Amino acid sequence: MDLTTTYLGLTLKSPLVPSAAAPLTEDIDNIKRMEDSGAAAVVLHSLFEEQLLREKFELHHHLQYGTESFAEALTYFPEPDEYHVGPELYLEHIRQAKASVDIPIIASLNGFSSGGWVEYAQLMQEAGADAIELNIYYVPTDPNMTGEQVERNYIDTLRDVEAEVSLPVSLKLSPFFSNFANMAQRLDDAGAKGLVLFNRFYQPDIDLDNLEVYPHVLLSTPHEMRLPMRWIALLYGQIQADLAATSGIQRGTDVIKMMMAGAKITQICSVLLRHGIEYIRTLEREIQHWMDEHEYESIQQMQGSMSQMYCPDKSAYERAQYMKAVTSHEPDYDPEQVISR
């Protein structure tokens, strides 16, 4: 049974790709286990530009602090540029991963400034990454910034990186655009080789006992796959960029649904954090079992088959189905008993 697919110009043995799942991908032994369990490629944890800048500034402060006190101290330390700070550990991680496994290694870059993205993307390429995923985790809070300005930042970032590296570049996006179809088309025109749908923004919570705001990470659940599946089905055949599905993928049948919608791969994270890295084997067996029962010979045979392009009722993915869905819903309780209470 042929599970092979293609993504970013890479031929992959299956659509099962662990995503930027820190802390899982921070350990080389884990990446080896992912390959042994059937992963077709691995997206490394993200390199955060803010962290690199903070480390650089802190090092500069400590190197310069007190150097004016004694004349002989002026040249005691080398200049900050001579230190290997920030990205070196990440770049060495790429090199070790490439030397340890045969599957493609996709580096992940989470940045915010044009110069920063370009500099680190070049270093990732030199370290041997097979592709780069730009994980744009940007929440605009300036009320004077327009939607067009926000979108322009994405396009300019992509073009800046594309101009300096020869690797295929994908973007991991949020769904929060006024017209996501238009945004996807513009990124496609700007040279994106892949779009990963969708990034999950981790929302903060409030600790009522200590009156503090704190991060509260919630693993994804199956119902969250509906949004990326819908947009992948809408975009399939409309753009050239490969489509990758992420969020809520917990079962082999979830992978199959994404393939039928039009995805080239599925990026999995929460399911591995819940059940362990070896669960990749279970997902692969579930895919093979379903394909065998339904007489599918290959993944490519099903890709896009249930997209809007091939759906007899094209409104099924649009608003026209809203009233049908609402009116056909059957509650799992007795309305009369609720009213009587």
Identity of the residue numbered 309: M
Give pLDDT, residue 173: 93
Single out the residue of 66, 24, 96, 3 nearest to residue 290, CA to CA. 3
pLDDT for residue 302: 97
Query: Cα–Cα–Cα angle for 135, 265, 17, nearest 5°?
Result: 70
Structure tokens at 181: 């179809």
- Residue 184 three-state SS: helix
What are the CB-based long-range contacts (under 8 Å, 24+) for 290-299?
290/252, 290/253, 290/256, 291/1, 291/256, 292/1, 296/1, 297/1, 297/2, 298/1, 298/2, 298/3, 298/4, 299/2, 299/3, 299/4, 299/5, 299/14, 299/15, 299/259
Q: Which residue from 271, 256, 255, 261 is spatially nearest to 308, judged by alpha carbons?
A: 261
Residue 247: partners with Cβ closer than 8 Å, 6 or more residues away: 197, 198, 200, 220, 224, 225, 227, 228
d(CA 341, CA 339): 5
Q: Token pair for residue 152?
A: 């322009």
The four Cα atoms 50, 104, 180, 218 give a dihedral, to 10 degrees, of -60
The dihedral built from the CA positions of residue 271, 231, 223 and 139, taken in this order, carries a sign that is: positive
pTM of the full predicted structure? 0.84
pLDDT tens-digit profile, the chain (341 residues): 899 999 999 999 999 999 986 679 999 999 999 999 999 999 999 887 765 655 554 434 433 444 444 444 444 434 444 433 457 889 999 999 999 999 999 999 887 665 667 888 999 999 999 999 998 777 788 899 998 998 998 999 999 999 989 999 999 999 989 999 999 999 999 999 999 999 877 778 898 999 998 877 778 888 899 999 999 999 999 999 999 999 999 999 999 999 999 999 999 999 999 999 999 999 999 999 999 999 999 999 999 999 999 887 777 777 655 556 666 666 665 555 545 54
Q: Estimate to the nearest angstrom the gap between the alpha carbon of 174 and the chain centroid.
A: 10
Q: Tell me, what's the pLDDT at 333?
A: 55
Q: Give residue 88's pLDDT.
A: 85
Give the helix ranges, DSSP H, for the chain. Answer: 28-37, 49-64, 88-100, 114-127, 147-164, 180-189, 226-235, 252-261, 270-275, 279-293, 299-302, 322-327, 335-340
